[in-house]
Every structure is written in structure tokens, then in C-alpha cells.
Structure 1
Amino acid sequence: MPPLALYTFGVLKSPLADPAPLTREFYDIGEAVYEKISQHPGHLAHAQAADGERGSHFETDWGAWGEFVVPTWYDKGRTVETTALAATLSLWTGLRPAFDAIYTGQLREALNRRYDWFERRGHPGYVFWCVPDGVTPTWQDGVTRLEHLHSHGSTPRAFTFHDSFAPDGTPARKSGVGPNSDRVN
């Protein structure tokens, strides 16, 4: 089975550079969670700055992951001081490993607190799609798929845990990934 790409995107209530305790807490928790997920079975790779440096998401060299772009609904800053977003782009062996990594442990605890940090915008916060073997998805791919999901709902081109598709485009399950689902990739 080809790998699955996962793009996540959220608009933060305050810029990442904000020294307020809640922003620092999000940043610190995020670092620990990302480290843990990177070690999870089924995680293949994730977008990282090519030079390992941090700065503005928009000015960072992401190497094969491409230029950093955001969905059309992002309307906040684009500098180190004003950027108010969190985005990830990763590759997984399947939905089950991604589900297990996201809905357990530290990340689950962080998800339970997401509205402390993120604005409620009415847009999807993540999207999956199948990627051919050997292909590195780009930030633009992620944005395009997330916007497609928002406009058209789950399709073989862009889907969620609960309404997912197999690489051949057939629905992969009836009730989604989880303890009561009938099939898991």
C-alpha cells in the first residue's frame, strides 16, 4: 500500500512569538508531541527545515517539501513576529498508525486543549491523501487537498479518518478508524 500524506493546519489565537504563558505552553507541548510522534511506528517522515534552522515558516527552506504556503482562509501575519499558525506535513504507512499516534498519549491531551490555543474557523484541521511510493508531498499539495476537503467533503483525493478511501478510490471503511471500526488500513 502506498504511503499516506497527512497535512494539518490551524490558526492560533496569538502569534507564535507572543511571550504569553499560553503561547509558550503550546509551543513547548508541541515540541514534545512532535518528537514523540516522529518515533511512532508507522511514521515515515515529516517536513523539516532543510537547514535545521527555525524562523518564519514562510522564509524557511523546506527542501523537497517545497515552499511553505497556507490555505486561503489564513489571514494573519507572515513574519516571525506575526505568524499565528501551526501546520504539519507528514507521511504514514497507513491510517491506523496515524490514528494511534494522534489519539493516544501527549497528543491526545493536547487535542483536548486545542481550543485554548486555536481559533474556531469552521474549516477542516487536517486531511489525508495517498501518495505514490517515493514521492514527497509538498506544502502546496497539503493546502490544495485541505481546501478540496473543505469544498467537497471527503473524496479519494482528500479525506479524513472517518471518511477514508483506499488507494484505488474505494471507501476504506464505514465508521472510520477507531475501536469499533470494521476495517483499518
Structure 2
Amino acid sequence: MPRLALYTFGVLKSPLADPGRLTREFYDSGDAVYRQIGQHPGYLAHAEAADGERGMLFGADWGAWGEFAVPAWYGKGRTVHTTALAATLSLWTGLRPAFEAIYAGPHREALNRRHDWFERTEHPTHVLWWVSDAVTPAWQDGVARLEHLHGHGPAPHAFTFRHPFAPDGTPTATR
């Protein structure tokens, strides 16, 4: 049975290492979001660095999720002190469970505050695609599909919650 891969990417206004109030609020909300999403029906897994610390993304050991990667349009720092991005890579049983987890509860509250923490951009902030049971998507997969979505729009290869596709490639509804 196919599984749904979800890659999210946003450029933060401040580096992750910034000791300011907004960065602390972002981290604090992130802790609640991960707890809620991790317990949501339909959630399977997300990329976690085996040896990472807060703010360490580049150069961390991501195991089966591959080497950490970002879209070509990311132009900020890549060190623990200068990285200014938030990215996730996760697996779900389907569109509906992922949609319900993202657009409800603590994550919905965080989405309502996204402009406090993230720069506004013309680039997509998430991309979805279907993978087989045996596949663990890699960071580079998410980046390639997000860039494809930005350049070509939604397609069975790379789509959004607003314009979803079923595993067989036909347009579908999220709900």
C-alpha cells in the first residue's frame, strides 16, 4: 500500500540560534506540535537526526532519510549559528490523516503565527508525493519535488493539499 511523503520548508526571519523571544516561541510551539503530530492516527514517521542538536541540520546523521538538503533558493547560513530555516520530512498513511494533523490543534495554531517567524515567499512551503512501502524518502527527494512543484505546478509527481493526487495519479480531494 502506498504511503504519503510530506516535505515542508520555510525560511525563518532569525537564525535558529537567535536567543530572542520569537525564536523561543517558535521552538516552544514546535515541541507541542511534534508531540501532537506524533500521536495522530495515520502518522508513521519523520526524519530525525541521530546525532543532532537544536539547530544542527547540515552535517547531521539522518540515517535512512539521507543527507540534509535544501532548495536552491535558500540563501542563508548553514552552520549551527547561522541556519535560518525549518524543514520537515514525514510519512503518512494517506492524505486525510496528514491534512487533519496539519490543519488542526497545535499545528494549526502555529500556522496562524507563521508570518511572525517565517519570511514571506513566492515559493511553495510543502510538497506531497506517494512512495511504496519499502521506500524511506530522502531529504533530496523532498527538495527535488518542491523545486519541481515551484517550476511546474501540481502533478502526480509533486502536489499540495490544495491540489492533491491519488496514488494512481488521478486528481482527488483531500477530504
TM-score, with structure 2 as normaliser: 0.96
Check whether the contact 1:54–1:60 (CA below 8 A) recurs between aligned residues.
Answer: no
Inter-partner Cα distance in structure 2 for 1:36 and 1:13: 25
Tell me the equivalent position of 1:110: 110
Partner of 2:32: 32
More contact order relative to length (CA 8 Å, sep ≥ 6): 2
Letter in 1 for 2:85: L
Residue 106 of structure 1: CA displacement?
0.7
- The change in CA–CA distance for 1:92 and 1:107 in structure 2 (over 3 A counts) is same
Residue number in structure 2 paired with 1:4: 4
Distance in 2 (alpha carbons) for counterparts of 1:109 and 1:32: 10
How far is 1:50 from its partner? 2.2
> Percent sequence identity over matched residues?
75
Paired with 2:54 and 2:18, the residues of 1 have a C-alpha distance of: 16
Secondary structure at the counterpart of residue 58 of structure 1: coil
Counterpart residue identity of residue 35, structure 1: R
CA distance in 2, matches of 1:29, 1:59: 25
Matched, 1:77 2:69: no
Tell me the CA shift for residue 51 of structure 1. 3.6
Asked if 1:140 corresponds to 2:140, the answer is: yes
Aligned residue in 2 for 1:65: 65
Q: Residues 66-103 of structure 1: CA distance to partner in whole angstroms, max 9, x if unpaired?
A: 00010000000000000000000000001100111111
Q: Given the superposition, is the C-alpha separation of residues 52 and 82 from structure 1 closer, same or farther in structure 2, using an over 3 Å criterion?
A: closer
Are 2:15 and 2:82, in contact at CA under 8 Å, matched by a contact in 1? yes
Separation of aligned partners in 2, 1:27 and 1:49 = 16
Which residue is 1:180 aligned to? Answer: none
Structure 1 gap ranges (5+): 178-183
Deviation of residue 55 (structure 1)? 5.0
Q: CA deviation at 1:64?
A: 0.2
Mapped to 2, the partners of 1:73 and 1:48 lie a distance apart of: 23
Q: Which residue in 2 is equivalent to 1:181?
A: none
Separation of aligned partners in 2, 1:60 and 1:27:
19
Describe the SS at the equivalent of 1:72. Answer: coil
8 Å CA contact 2:16–2:55 kept in 1: the answer is: no
State the match for 1:92 in structure 2.
92
Counterpart for residue 56 of structure 2:
56
Structure 2: runs of 5 or more not aligned: none
In the TM superposition, residue 54 of structure 1 has moved relative to its aligned partner by: 4.4
How far off is 1:53 after superposition?
4.5
Question: Are 2:172 and 1:165 equivalent residues in the alignment?
Answer: no
Aligned residues: 175
Runs of at least 4 residues off by over 4 Å? 52-55
Which AA in structure 1 matches 2:21? P
Q: Which residue of 2 aligns with 1:13?
A: 13
Distance (whole Å) between structure 1 residues aligned to residue 118 and residue 55 of structure 2: 20
